[in-house]
Every structure is written in C-alpha cells, then in structure tokens.
Structure 1
Amino acid sequence: MQQNIASVPAHDIPEGQSTKKAGTINPYVLLFIMLLITAAATWVVPAGEFDRVLREGVKFAVPGSLHEVARAGVGIGHVFVFIAEGMVKSAPIIFLILFTGGAVNLLEQSGALTNALNALVHRKGSSDTLIIVSVCVVFSLLGTTGVVINSVVAFIPLGMLLARSMNLPRIFGVGLIYLGTYSGFNSAIINPGTTGLAQRLAELPLFSGMGFRVAIYIAFAIASVVFLALYARRCRREGLAHEDADAGQSTQIQVTTAHWLILAFTVVALVTFIYGAINFHWSENEMSAMFIIIAIGVGFLARMSAGAIADAFLKGCSQLIPGALIVGLASAIALVLGHGHILDTIVNAIANVLAPLDEIFAALGMFASAALLHIVISSGSGESAALVPLYVPVGDALHITRQVTVETILLGEGVINSINPSSGVMMAVLAIGRIGYGQWLRFVLPLTLVWTAISIVVLIIGVTIQWGPF
C-alpha cells in the first residue's frame, strides 16, 4: 500500500538516499576555514580603532579618528574559545531554531499542515506560479517591514513541506521562503533596524524616499517570483522531483475539523507574534516562547498525551540541531574580528579608496564595498553603524545625496545576503534544508546577479536625479 505523505516527516531521509553530492561544501567546514583565515588576518592586518560616539543607544564611528592600537592576534586555542562564546552569544536564535523544529514536528504528526498543503497544491485552479506569487508576496512584505529577518529560519520547514507537496526539489522550498523574505529585505521600505537606523545616522528624515524605495521593492519581488517560477518550470520539464520518492503523492487528502482547528490556532499564534513584533518589539525570545505555545496547543488539539507531546517536541528539536549550532560558529567570526581590532582598519582603507572617484563610480564603489564588508560584518545594523558615518562625508564631498549613500549600504548588504557564507542565518537555513553551500550557490547565483543589476541601475538613477530630500 502507498504510504500517506502525512506519515513521513519532512526532515527524514529515505533509506539508502544520500544528501551528499559531488562538489558540495559542508557549511560547518566552510565557516571553520573562514574562521581560521580571519584569525590569521589578526596577525597581519594592522590593528586600529575609530573613536566612537554614543548617540541614542548606538555607537557610531567618528570619521578621521582611526588610531593604532596594540596588536591582539588570535591564536588557535582562542579560536575554539570564540566558537563557544559565539554559541552563548547566539543562544536566542539557536533556541528559536530548535523550538521551531519541535513545533513543526507536532504539526506534521497531527497531519494538519501536511494535508492542508496537499489540499492547496492539488486544488483545482492551483498552479506553481500562483503558489509562488502568494508565498513570495507574504514573505517579502514581512521582510521589507523587518518583521521576519533572522526568524526566517523558523519558516524554512514550511517551505520544505510545500516543496514536498508540490513534488519539487527541497532547494526550491528553501528558496521560496528565504529568497521571498530577502527580496523584501533588500528594499527595506520601513525596516527600523536597517533603513531607519541608517537614515538616523545620516540625519535623514525617518523613512524618507519611500516612493522610490517601493519601486525598488517591486523590482526585487518580481525578479524573485520570475526566477522561482522559471526554476519550477525547468524542474517539471526535466523531471526533477523531490528527493523523497513518495513526495507529492497521497492516497487521501482530507482536512478534518480537528485539522482546521489546529491550523487556526497556529495562525492566531503567529499573527499574535507579528503584532507583538510591530508594536512591542518582540524578537527571538518571544518567538521561541510562541513556538512552545504552538507545540503544546497543537498536541492537545490533536488529542496527544503530555508524554507524546514532549517526545515529539524533543524529536523535532533534535532534527534541527545542525541548523541551530551553525549560527554560533558564524558568530565566532565577528568575535575574532572584534578581538583582533582589524575591522576598522579595513573599513578606513576602503573609504580612502572611494574618496577620489567620480560620483557614480563612488556610489557603485560604496555598494560593492558594503557587499564585501557584509561578509565580515554580518549584522545589518552593525554595518550601518560602521559605514554610514564614514561614507556620508565622502558622499557629501562628491555631491552624492545622503539618501543615495544610505541606499548603497542597504543594497550592498541586502544583495550579498543570498550568498554570504558568514551569515549564520543563511548557513542555518542551508543546514536545515540539508543543502551544501556549493549547491546553493549554483542555484541562487543567477538571481543574485539580477539583484545586483537592479541595484546598479537604482543607484545610477539615484545619483542622476539627486534622490533626496538631500
């Protein structure tokens, strides 16, 4: 008898099927190599620091204040200490990932989510394009408002389940959620942690230039939808299916009243979190708590015993351990840079290179350097605090508006997020999806190039029209 899809956890691998492919790079190995290179750089790059001023709770660099400090090279023993410290520092996002796994496993065991997704995919009138547009619109809006950024990892299992129901490769489901979210994050229309902070540091009116930024958002979202739709079409044409042989097949697609109650409870919990994130600045800790609530509520609505709920929750947590711990390893890179006092030296050197350039080439240089620096400054707010005070004087001298200067940084960090090997969030996403970095790079590089082209056009237009208010 054919096995019902609801009984097969999305995280499990069919017996005999390997997730390893030739040429893939284990994310843990890649990050550890980067960590060793960063530690070696602390012995070569001159140590230096900017003076910093605290304004409204944010420390920002004072241009022209770079001064030499004592070298603080990181030895091999300290590298492992920083890994441990990175795990501690990243505890909120690590536990969010683990608790996500627990809640999703209970939703899978109840059959509610899997059967609902199957019903959606097989409903008359449904198509790959319609599903892609619907999901991308929702997650791009959550991304551009800053509601879902780091917490995008919590929704990756949903994308994997959706890909399984559509009988498309796992990487499609991962990309559907991640790229949908970050197509919105790239424009960051009203994201207080990126656009809001950068504009405040540049002394621009909060969320000014919104009209042009909405056009940027639309361009990124359309590019992402078209990319995913073309990929899905190619998979259908070439017969590329989900890695599970039973994916997309079900002997019975039936959503019962109990399933609807479970789904309604889950939606209400998630909407409550979104409301709290917007109005009360809830973040990873509150979302972790919400997933515990979801797990318990789903278990009782599915009439599971307390012991069965606990067992299912712990099993789900264990399935996402690889994706959770990688966040701490990525965080260790930033700790090494900070201890070695070399980041400010690197930033200052780039600012000096940009100063003599033509205004358009300087703006594009700011964009390119912001993208490269995001590999070592994986925090969007941290990069804004480091670069805005240094790039604004350069832009002022070259008659580049501050709005354009801010946008060079936002677009640089946004575009590189899709391929940034030091991003704990992205590497966690790949670990959860069991996708090698090389495999992901081959998949996403065409869209990244399109996003880059959009950014270049946007910046050239911004410089040409003197996008302001100033």
Structure 2
Amino acid sequence: MEGNKNLLKKSFARLDAYVLLFCILLVCAIATYFVPTGEFDRVKNGSVTVVVPGSYHAVESNPTGFIDFFTAIQTGMVKGAPIIFLVLFTGGALAVLDKTGALNAAILTLVRKLGNKEWLLIILITAVFSVLGTLGVIVNSVIAFVPLGIMIARAMKLDAIFGVALIYIGVYAGFNTSIAFPGTLGLSQQIAELPLFSGIGYRTIIYLSFVLVTILYIIRYARKLRKDPAQGILGDVPFPSDSGSAAGDLDSQVLFTLRHKLTLAFTGIVLIAFIACTILFKWDVNEMAGIFIFIAIGVGLINKMSGNDIAKTFLKGCQSLVYGALIVGMARSITVILEDGKFLDTIVYGLATILEPLSPMAGAVGMFLGSAGLHFLISSGSGEAVMLMPLLAPLSDLMNITRQVAVEALMLGEGVVNCINPTSGVLMSILAISGISYGKWLRFMLPLTAIWTVLSIVFIMIGVMINWGPY
C-alpha cells in the first residue's frame, strides 16, 4: 500500500504541465453539464464593466460540446498571444545576449566579489523585484527575467528552484501585497468607491512583512542546498532545463571585458527605459515583446554579429521556449471553458450567500478564503476584482466590515495562491521554461504559501479590529 502511495506521488511530481492543464480543462468541461448556470447583469462603470449586486438570475445552460472542448484550446492560444510572443521573443533576445558571454561574465564577477555573502545578493535582488511587483511595473513580464535568475543560480552552484524563486517570488511577494498598482488595487478601490491608493500606510506594513518572510525563506533554502545539495527538491538534476544558459554550465575563468560592459549597459538602459515608459505611458506586454527584438538587434551589432547570425540565434532562442510559451494559451483555454459554461457567476453568488450571515471577523476571513478559492477559476486579478468587488463592497457594509478591509481581503486572497495556481499561464510558463515539474514546485512553495496565508489572516483580523478606513 505504501509503495502505491509513493508511486502516485512520483507520478504527480513528474506529470507534464500540458497533461495537468488538459485534465483540469476536461474537469471544467464536464462540470458545465452539472453545475447550475446563472449570470449577474453587468453595467459599464467608466471604462470598467462590473456586475450589478442583486441581479443574479438563472440562464440556459451552455455545456461544452466535443468540438467546443478542442476549439477552446485554440481560442485560449489566440487570447494568450501577447504573453506567448513575449515568452518567445524573450528566448530569442536572451539567446543573442548569451552568445556574447556578457551575462556569464557579469554574474560570475559579481558572485566572486560577494564571496560568502550570498545572502546579500538574495536580499538585493528579491527586494528590487518586489518593489517592481508592488508597483505593478513587472507582473506578467516577470517571465522575461526568470532565465536571469537561473543563470545566477548556476553561477552560485545552487538549483533552478532557487533561481526561479529569486525573481518570480520576489516579484509576486510585492504584487500580492500591492501598495500602488492601478490594475488590481486601484481598480478594486475604484469599484468600492474608496480614494485611490488609500490605506497605503497599513498596506506598506503588510508588503514589508511579506517581503521579509520571502527573503528569509529563500535564504533558508539556499543554505540548505549549500550544506547538502542532495537535500534540494530537484535532487541530482539541479537544472532540468538548459534554458538558464545555452552553453550549459558557466565558465568560471571568463573575463569581464569592455565589450561585455557595453553590451550589458545597452541592455540595462533599454530595460530601464521600458520601466519608465510603463509608468509614464502604461506600456505592457506587447511593448516589452517589441523591446526584446530591439535588444537582440542592438546586442548583436555591438558584438559585430552579422544580420544572418543575429536572426538565426534569435530564432533558435525562440524555438527553445516554444514549450513554455504555448503553455500560456493552454492555461487560458480553461478560462474560455468557464466563461462559455456560464457557471462562474453561480459560484460567486454562492460565495456571497455563505458570507452574508457571518460575524465581521469571520466574514472578513471568509472573503479572503473565498477570493483565494475563486482565483483558481479566475486567474486574472483584475478579472476577479470586477466580478467579486461589486458584491463584496455592499456586503461589507451589511456585515459592519470596512470596505478597505474587503478590498485587502480580495487582494490577499487572490495573491497568496498566485504562485501555486495551475491555471496561471505565467506560473506554468515559468515552470516549463525552467524544467521544474508542478509537483516539485508545490513541495517548495506550499510552506511559504502557508506562511503567507497565516500573515494574511492576521492582518485582515487586525484590520477589522482597528476599523481600518476610510470607509
């Protein structure tokens, strides 16, 4: 019996990401035949379409047919195209950059200078990316920076999980506790009729707490690997994918030349310019995909590569990330099935019905848990906000919960499960790029998710006790 359990665990750990998402897609399609269907009326509130509280009504069911099931995958690919091409073009640009040896040389030089102070590198990188995450500068585009984390992990002789965590969890520790991101926090506060980015003082405390425990968690894992590499979750294969470096292991004898410095200076200036334009002109995934084409051409010219060489290297890099790119569309197809099946509103209505008779403290925690559960079906933070916040705002008034607490319950609920959500195209793409199986990622991420959950509940309960305003 024990042998069968171990076999099941190993099978789950090795389960291909596409197989996992296909199974989830199949379950959702079957559910369209059994779950009652219903809809809320929706109205335009400025540029945002929101649900109308109290307008839920039954509608005719729309079960997923045989052909519909497979065309949903194609539709998901089309809707996920911006991120898919971002992933592909990231691979192309990094392949050109990697061929110059500039990243290799810079990372090794940095690691050598830090010596045994690797904890300082972890703090710096995680803190910087958390700031970019909490401000919403880098969210979906975090995919583009993960290969850099894997290269750092190679230079430090750790593993791919450490490299992914350094960048991805760094960004999402900030994004999950946003203090000034219009796309989720700003939208939720707008719907709840709260002043934009109000409550920033208490949110900053929440953000700093999340980032601190995240940094400590990553440092602890790095020290565990340093003490005994066999204790790593990836075991004897610390880098399942070669995506971190086209050349495999980094050459420890490489010199950091002037041309390397010019290459990285150009790349850094372009990326900083992109971040500035994100803030000033609301640039997003489409612009970043274009930026990576520009980086590839510029880096190639600086290093005197021919046009043909740049093109072939770029396309080879794109080819190496096809698996990771298309997983985004596969995840998006689940949303297509759920939307066409017309039962997401039924689930939201059921959640609101359960919460209404609860006490303020239990109700606020219930909002958090309900938001977390719903996020597995609605992997978009803004999508969940426009569906759930119009119901939570008046509900919080009835339950004597401030709307500020309701907004934070929604934010933290969808936030804490972001990094374990199998329907997240960003997560599944990152795992595909790094070669980490979903099962092994869960082994690493679940303890931190539990810590984030406890912190969230504590902060929400404090918010209820202090009657966190302004409303």
TM range (shorter): over 0.9
Q: Aligned-pair distance for 1:68?
A: 1.2
Taking the aligned partners of 1:378 and 1:444, their CA distance within structure 2 comes to 18
Residue 106 of structure 1 corresponds to: 96
Query: Would you say 1:277 and 2:278 are equivalent positions?
Result: yes
For each residue in 1:227-270, what CA deviation from the matched residue of structure 2 results, as whole angstroms up to 9, or x when unmatched? Answer: 00000000011134844899776351311000000000000110
Aligned residues of 2:13 and 2:438 also touching (Cα < 8 A): no
Q: Aligned-pair distance for 1:35?
A: 0.5
Residues 124, 152 of structure 1: CA spacing in aligned structure 2 closer, same or farther, 3 A cutoff? closer
Taking the aligned partners of 1:29 and 1:393, their CA distance within structure 2 comes to 41
Taking the aligned partners of 1:185 and 1:428, their CA distance within structure 2 comes to 18
Residue 393 of structure 1 corresponds to: 394
Aligned residues of 2:180 and 2:186 also touching (Cα < 8 A): yes
TM-score, normalization: structure 1? Answer: 0.94
Q: Secondary structure at the match of 2:334?
A: helix
Query: Would you say 1:260 and 2:250 are equivalent positions?
Result: no
Taking the aligned partners of 2:249 and 2:74, their CA distance within structure 1 comes to 41
Aligned residues of 2:239 and 2:434 also touching (Cα < 8 A): no
Query: Would you say 1:305 and 2:295 are equivalent positions?
Result: no
Residue 250 of structure 1 corresponds to: 251
Taking the aligned partners of 1:137 and 1:22, their CA distance within structure 2 comes to 33
Residue 319 of structure 2 corresponds to: 318
Structure 2 unmatched runs, 5+: 1-9, 233-237
Residues 114, 21 of structure 1: CA spacing in aligned structure 2 closer, same or farther, 3 A cutoff? farther
Q: Secondary structure at the match of 2:150?
A: helix
Q: Secondary structure at the match of 1:60?
A: strand
Residue 3 of structure 2 corresponds to: none
Q: Secondary structure at the match of 2:13?
A: coil
Residue 10 of structure 1 corresponds to: none
Taking the aligned partners of 1:50 and 1:155, their CA distance within structure 2 comes to 39
Taking the aligned partners of 1:176 and 1:343, their CA distance within structure 2 comes to 34
Q: Secondary structure at the match of 1:376?
A: coil
Aligned residues of 2:105 and 2:256 also touching (Cα < 8 A): yes
For each residue in 1:254-294, what CA deviation from the matched residue of structure 2 results, as whole angstroms up to 9, or x when unmatched? Answer: 11000000000000110111011101011111101100000
Taking the aligned partners of 1:224 and 1:21, their CA distance within structure 2 comes to 29
Residue 239 of structure 1 corresponds to: 229
Among 214, 217, 240, the residue aligned to 2:207: 217
Residues 80, 247 of structure 1: CA spacing in aligned structure 2 closer, same or farther, 3 A cutoff? closer
Counterpart amino acid of residue 228 in structure 2 = E
Q: CA RMSD in A?
A: 1.6
Residue 7 of structure 2 corresponds to: none
Q: Secondary structure at the match of 1:53?
A: strand
Aligned residues of 1:146 and 1:185 also touching (Cα < 8 A): yes
Among 167, 176, 186, the residue aligned to 2:176: 186
Aligned residues of 1:367 and 1:412 also touching (Cα < 8 A): yes
Q: Secondary structure at the match of 1:255?
A: coil
Counterpart amino acid of residue 393 in structure 1 = P
Q: Secondary structure at the match of 2:184?
A: helix
1:10-25 paired onto structure 2 within 5 Å: 23-25=13-15
For each residue in 1:379-416, what CA deviation from the matched residue of structure 2 results, as whole angstroms up to 9, or x when unmatched? Answer: 10010000111111221111100000000000001100
- Identity percentage of aligned residues: 51
For each residue in 1:54-107, what CA deviation from the matched residue of structure 2 results, as whole angstroms up to 9, or x when unmatched? Answer: 011111111110111111000232111010011011111100000000011111
Counterpart amino acid of residue 36 in structure 2 = P
Structure 1 unmatched runs, 5+: 1-19
For each residue in 1:153-185, what CA deviation from the matched residue of structure 2 results, as whole angstroms up to 9, or x when unmatched? Answer: 011111111111111011110111110000000
Q: Aligned-pair distance for 1:120?
A: 0.6
Residues 231, 52 of structure 1: CA spacing in aligned structure 2 closer, same or farther, 3 A cutoff? same
Counterpart amino acid of residue 55 in structure 2 = S
Aligned residues of 1:165 and 1:247 also touching (Cα < 8 A): no
Taking the aligned partners of 2:468 and 2:405, their CA distance within structure 1 comes to 6
Aligned residues of 2:41 and 2:56 also touching (Cα < 8 A): yes
Taking the aligned partners of 1:251 and 1:150, their CA distance within structure 2 comes to 32
Query: Would you say 1:361 and 2:370 are equivalent positions?
Result: no
Residue 54 of structure 2 corresponds to: 64
Taking the aligned partners of 1:457 and 1:39, their CA distance within structure 2 comes to 37
Counterpart amino acid of residue 391 in structure 2 = L
Residue 193 of structure 2 corresponds to: 203
Q: Aligned-pair distance for 1:24?
A: 2.4
Counterpart amino acid of residue 170 in structure 2 = G
Residue 152 of structure 2 corresponds to: 162
Residue 81 of structure 2 corresponds to: 91
Q: Secondary structure at the match of 1:418?
A: helix
Taking the aligned partners of 2:22 and 2:12, their CA distance within structure 1 comes to 20
Aligned residues: 451
Taking the aligned partners of 1:29 and 1:50, their CA distance within structure 2 comes to 33
